[in-house]
Amino acid sequence: MNQTKRFTPALGSGILIRVWKRLRSGHDHGLYTTLIEEIAIAIGLDVILAGIWESMKADIDDAFRADATRYGGTAFLECLLAAWNDDMRLTLIAHSGGAVYINRLLNAIDDRLPAKIKADIVFIAAALSFDAFAETIDDDVFRNRVHSYRFFALEDKREGGYWQVPGVYDKSLLYLLSALCERDGDADKALVGMQRYWSGKKPYKTKNITTVTNTISIGERVWSPTPSGAPAGYQANARRHGRFAVEPKTNASVQHFLR
């Protein structure tokens, strides 16, 4: 910690003020978690984590630069176009940060490929912001390029019910990402894969959130763990962010979607 970030009464007071403001505005993540987040912000950890996350997203954008011999996203698009026929089905499945890639890929498909090429998409615990996804919807990319879709994510009780960093951070990776990896004045960036932002209640009634929630039908949202009577294709039993990929009910539901 450098000299400017040493703990002082002023720094402590600033942390408490930020915690209070978030509690009052509804942008808190629970008292303990919010306090931990604000301490991390006060010592500059958010700047480091945001830099890493933004670098990852920049790498995704770079994948679609012009030279197909160097950039994988562009190479994929060229190969897809060369192989495409009317009997083909394109399915894009993404977990966590992969949803950021798929969102970028959909936009590239819309920019570069014939209108007949559409995709089915599955987002699982998507670390994609509502802002980015709303832009894809507003630009008609989602309407023009997505044939069918399904979203899987943890119910909020599970999202906030385990320690991502044991003994330190008592909620999921997406909570940590929302607070410390995205540059957001409230340390509460709305992410598509988090149920709390789909509530339709303040403070989550912003234009971009509403754009997404009005587009993605309730019937295609699967909050894990699902009740015992959930229909085939809409079942999941993951209880942690990282468990979806190996969770049998989620895998069976994705397989059902692929039929």
- Would you state the pLDDT for residue 1? 44
Lateral strand order in the sheet of 146-154: 90-95, 119-124, 146-154, 221-224
How confident is residue 2, by pLDDT bands cut at 50, 70 and 90? very low
pLDDT at 7: 74
The tens digit of pLDDT for each residue in 74-131 reads 999 999 999 999 999 999 999 999 999 999 999 999 999 999 999 999 999 999 999 9
On the question of a cis peptide bond just before residue 114, with omega within 30 degrees of 0, the verdict is no
Quick one: pLDDT at residue 3? Answer: 45
pLDDT value for 97? 98
Domain parsing of the chain, residue ranges: 1-43, 87-258
At residue 36, does pLDDT exceed 70?
Answer: yes
What's the mean per-residue pLDDT of the chain? 96
Which stretches of the chain are assigned E, i.e. beta strand? 90-95, 119-124, 146-154, 221-224
pLDDT at 4 over 70: no
| pLDDT of amino acid 9 | 83
What pLDDT is recorded for position 182?
98
Cα gap 36→39, rounded to integer Å: 5
Q: What is the pLDDT of residues 201-219, one digit of tens each?
A: 999 999 999 999 999 999 9
Distance CA 192, CA 59 (A): 21
Q: Is 183 helix (H, G, I), strand (E, B) or coil?
A: coil
Q: Report the percent of the chain where pLDDT is more than 70.
A: 98
The mean pLDDT of 53-73, rounded to a whole number, is 98
**Mean local confidence (pLDDT), 227-232:** 96
Residue 237: pLDDT over 90: yes
Q: What's the rounded mean pLDDT across residues 165-172?
A: 98
Q: What is the pLDDT of residue 8?
A: 84
- How far apart are the C-alpha atoms of 34 and 181, rounded to whole Å? 14
**pLDDT higher than 50, residue 29:** yes
